[in-house]
Structure 1
Amino acid sequence: MPTPVIAIADVGKTNKKLFLFDRQYQIVWERTEQFSETVDDDGEACEDLQRLSQWLLSAVREVLTLPEYEVQALNFSTYGASLVYLDAEGRTVGNLYNYLKPYPDWIRQQFYDRYGAPDVLSVQTASPALNSLNSGLMLYRIKYDKPRLFRRIWYALHLPQYMSYLITRQMLSDLTSIGCHTMLWDFEKHRYHDWVVSEGFDKLMGSLFPADKAMKAFMVGGDTADGQPRDLRVGVGLHDSSAALIPYLASFGESSDGAAASPFVLISTGTWCISMNPFTSQPLTAEELQYDCLCFLTYKGQRVKAARLFAGFEHEQQTKRLADHFGVAVDYYKQVRYNASLIQQLQQTTVPLQPVEEGLIPAAVLASLAGSPFGDRDLTQFDDYETAYHQFMLDLMGGQLISTALVLPPEGSASAEDAVTRIFVDGGFSKNPIYMNLLAAAFPDKEVWAASVAQATALGAALSFHDQWNPLPVPPNLITLTRYTAS
């Protein structure tokens, strides 16, 4: 008998992956592909949408023919902040523009002159003013900067929903894509913001569809649907940030008797270290938005407060610098063990470059949210790599403490139900004992856990769809934990 599975297409900027999960949510098959970017109509780098579409259709067709597996469901998780534009016949027009694409000053000025100051709109939409990273502003740009293209657009789908459209031919939206730094969603009124309605963009987005509900597939024989429904349940797709949180909510979001469990923060570490608190209902302040905080929505519509730190990128840059200076391999840091005595010595003898004032976050310290101050240190002051690397991690943790604290309730203001008691860390830094020990020391009143879960984003997209295909209960052992305590 073939094994019942769910297929998940997980599309990142670099890697395009397709996984098969069995009913215990173990990966039983996977395929990864990378391909080069193309250029858009301005000559700037962007995703090759045609190749991405062909890859998805080909990969799905392949797994449907595997004799050892019975694919019963299909869902999607992709990076966000990116819209795909389609014409009246459902054909793509324009490009999948890069969310780092430079934004014209005159368009930005026109938008805020018309609809209000950036700080006001940012608070209402829980979206820092990020230009092309706000997908709503990218659509606004097309309307006024590329009017001929805009006149051809009948639908604008975020990338996860476009992936789903290729299989279902349904023009839909979902909360996880609409509600993540798009500047489209009014978090106070729980609907599209007034400016979106005023521009008529709400009519382009398609109906909101629940991410835990299924559609039928009209599986593809070529590049268009052949009109023959298959016995395959298909999801609408999720934004990757929301999807990555789902395994933790499924495992730790409630106690065994169904009661609410103690709140937690997840620090998802990679190029960016993103601290996420799904247990707060407090709206963002203008000050928090200034410090790169934002809110996004889970597929159930719950608000998640998030803050990001460019720590993974900073780690990559500084370990290269250390390797060059000390004449060792770039990954030599993996051999460095946590040395509590050395940390204590450095704390007592090294003058901080950016001191923290009591009750304040000085501008100099806020600058460290981009990474760390270690780049300004003279490496000749360190006797060896071990000492220098411990100092780097101390500097990096200064920024991490500030970033994570931004998503925690202020001291004395949280009720017992809102008080965060646990911090989980997944991704690269969860395997770094120096980072984990320093984090435990930075938050001595919290339980700090290194978490290990295979392909959290893809797993989250599968778990959101659990009731649609899997008759078994969600396994209790999806995440492996290791606790660190302050020393």
Structure 2
Amino acid sequence: MTRVNAVFDIGKTNKKFFLFDDEYNEVYRDYVNLPLTVDEDGFETENLETLRTWIKETFDAILEDERFDIKTLNFSSYGASLVHLDYKGKPLTPLYNYTKDLPQEIIEDFYKEHGDALTIGAETASPPSGMLNSGMQLYWLKKTKPGLFSQIKYSLHLPQYLSYLFTGIPVSEYTSIGCHTNLWNYDEEDYHKWVHDENIDKILPPIVPTSASINTTYKDKKIKIGVGIHDSSSALLPYILSKKKPFLLLSTGTWSIALNPFNSESLSKEDIAENCLNYLRIDGKRVKASRFFMGNEYRLQVEKLCEYYKKEYGYHREVKFDQDIYLGLIEKPAVYFKFEGISLQRLPQKTELQQFDTFEEAYHQLMIELMELQIDTINKAIGNSKIKKIFIDGGFTDNDVFMKLMSHHFSNFKVLSTHSPLGSALGAAMVISDKQITSQFLKENYRMKKLVPLLFN
């Protein structure tokens, strides 16, 4: 039997289950897309019961597999999502989607009661983002559903709820508390004053280190179970553990997040106004980050392109960078796309596709416009740091146009794509392991590839 470390890596779209051996080699993988459900307002969201069933059935099945001897289990998942448990440990509400709108009057009441939005944003390193600030979800529940709120014994962030399913022990940990929740005062290293004033701290379980684990017996098997980790912090961990010189990690997916673990300055109100934020590392240190909703916007716009040009969804994955198309488009720079999930002043009232003869041409234009935002977010995260190296991981490393544009615009940096579909899962395995990794780890395990800057004919 192979000794293995098990990890559930729960994304908004893909739910994955991995087994790693003691050298962090992937020895097994299972993944699934689960059907969504709707909350009481008809807003689409994760089906918590379906997710719980899949996780339990998947893990129970692997326990029976005689090839593997499971030693540890941990969880990585998206943040800004809370599971509210009643006094019997059962979820009281749907897992509200962080893209759901927060009523404007709730936002106005909050800042009227607790202070200026940019001041609180700077103190909590959380740009005002509605439900994406998970603390605001708690405020919303308290104000709009007081009867239900009074039944909450504990509110757990999603990674900690997944751990709770196996341990029955409710905890909080730093990476989930620290990810744009509006809950944590970074300078005070405590929950923000508003959290105490609203008595919300009473339903947040005790804080434990991210590296904490619980030795438990599950189905007659002794297993060390982790407390879960926020996926962005988890994806960053293998880089931090193996690289000592300053770098920036661009983590691409539904969100494109530029993460700089070498900039620990307090955020200013200006930073907050420009959508900068902090994450907490597992050791409680800050990570400066800047983000935008790139993957979400990309999906929405590609769907429109496929419809307009009568292509099957998926056609876009085969499009390669075309120098002639690119040079032709940048000769007369213009904005043609009305973004749906990103609010910007510079955008047209509607997307103008009749300008482009082909899908490929329109697609290149879309990537040019997204890249403008990407350059901006990277520069904000770098700030004054002496960074010369950028790692790119996540879904967009397979996007030829995106990667060629990155190599072009950041030709003064050493830009490396790191091809590991394991990013956040691997971090979750590492955080509860005793095994140290060397500086060669990324080179050996992440299929790193140096991007060559474009040379135009």
What TM-score, normalized by structure 2, do the two folds share? Answer: 0.89
> Any residues of structure 2 matched to 1:22-421 within 5 Å, and which?
22-219=21-218, 230-251=221-242, 253-254=243-244, 261=245, 263-323=246-306, 330-340=313-323, 342-347=325-330, 349-353=331-335, 378-382=352-356, 384-409=358-383, 414=384, 418-421=385-388
The number of residues matched between the two structures is: 450
User: Equivalents in 2 of 1:447, 1:301: separation in Å?
Assistant: 28
Measured in 2, the distance between the counterparts of 1:93 and 1:336 equals 45
Paired amino acid for 1:435: F
**Alpha-carbon distance in 2 for matches of 1:383, 1:46:** 37
Q: Post-superposition shift, 1:317?
A: 4.1
Shift of residue 377 of structure 1?
7.0
Structure 2 CA distance, aligned partners of 1:115 and 1:267?
34
Q: Percent of counterpart pairs with the same letter?
A: 37
Q: How many angstroms does 1:447 deviate by?
A: 0.9
Distance 1:351 1:211, change over 3 A: closer
Rounded to whole Å, the distance in 1 between the matches of 2:146 and 2:101 is 18
More deviation, 231-240/287-296: 287-296
1:196 aligned counterpart, secondary structure: helix
Cα 1:293–1:65 shift into 2, 3 Å: same
- 1:399-439 per-residue CA deviation (whole Å, 9 max, x = no partner) reads 21112111111xxxx3xxx3111111122322233322222
* Pair member with larger Rg: 1
State which of 386, 399, 411 in structure 2 corresponds to 1:432: 399
- Taking the aligned partners of 1:371 and 1:427, their CA distance within structure 2 comes to 28
- Structure 1 residues 390, 51: CA separation in 2 closer, same or farther (over 3 Å shift)? closer
Aligned to 1:449: 416
State whether residues 24 and 474 of structure 1, in contact with CA within 8 Å, keep that contact through their aligned partners in structure 2.
no
Map of 1:360 onto structure 2: none
Aligned partners of 1:267 and 1:423 also within 8 Å: yes
CA distance in 2, matches of 1:31, 1:234: 19
Q: Are the structure 2 counterparts of residues 271 and 99 from structure 1 closer, same or farther at C-alpha, using a change threshold of 3 Å?
A: closer
How far does the alpha carbon of each residue in 1:172-197 deviate from its partner, in whole angstroms, 9 at most, with x for none? 10001100111110011111111111
CA contact (8 A) 2:247 2:262 kept: yes
Question: Which whole-Å deviations, capped at 9, do the CAs of 1:244-277 have from their partners, x for residues lacking one?
Answer: 11222233x22xxxxxx1x111112223222111
State whether residues 84 and 155 of structure 2, in contact with CA within 8 Å, keep that contact through their aligned partners in structure 1.
yes
Structure 1 residues 483 and 207, CA gap change in structure 2 (3 angstroms): same
Query: Are 1:465 and 2:432 counterparts?
Result: yes
Contact 1:119-1:286 at 8 Å conserved across structures = yes
Instruction: Give the TM-score, by structure 1 length.
Output: 0.84
Q: Mean Cα displacement is larger for which, 456-465 or 266-275?
A: 266-275
Q: Distance in 2 between matches of 1:19 and 1:175?
A: 24
Q: Which amino acid aligns with 2:419?
A: S
Contact 2:293/2:342 (<8 A) preserved: no
For 2:166 and 2:16, the matched residues in 1 are separated by: 17
TM-fit CA distance, 1:110:
2.2
SS at the partner of 2:368? helix
Verify the 8 A CA contact 1:269 1:425 in the aligned structure 2: yes
Q: Counterpart in 1 of 2:445?
A: 478
Q: Helix, strand or coil for the counterpart of 1:452?
A: coil
C-alpha separation between the residues in 1 aligned to 2:318 and 2:37? 39
Structure 2 gap segments, 5+ residues each = none
Cα RMSD (Å) of the superposition?
Answer: 2.9
Q: CA deviation at 1:475?
A: 6.9
Shift of residue 309, structure 1, vs aligned partner = 2.6
Unmatched runs of 5 consecutive residues or more in structure 1: 221-227, 255-260, 355-363
* Amino acid in the other structure paired with 1:307: S
Q: In the superposition, relative to structure 1, how do residues 466 and 328 fare at CA in structure 2: closer, same or farther (>3 Å)?
A: same
Change (3 A) 1:423 1:150: same
Point out the more displaced range, 396-405 or 332-341: 332-341
The change in CA–CA distance for 1:329 and 1:94 in structure 2 (over 3 A counts) is closer
Alignment-mate amino acid for residue 62 of structure 1: A
Closer/same/farther in 2, CA of residues 311 and 80 from structure 1, 3 Å limit: closer
Amino acid at match of 1:65: E
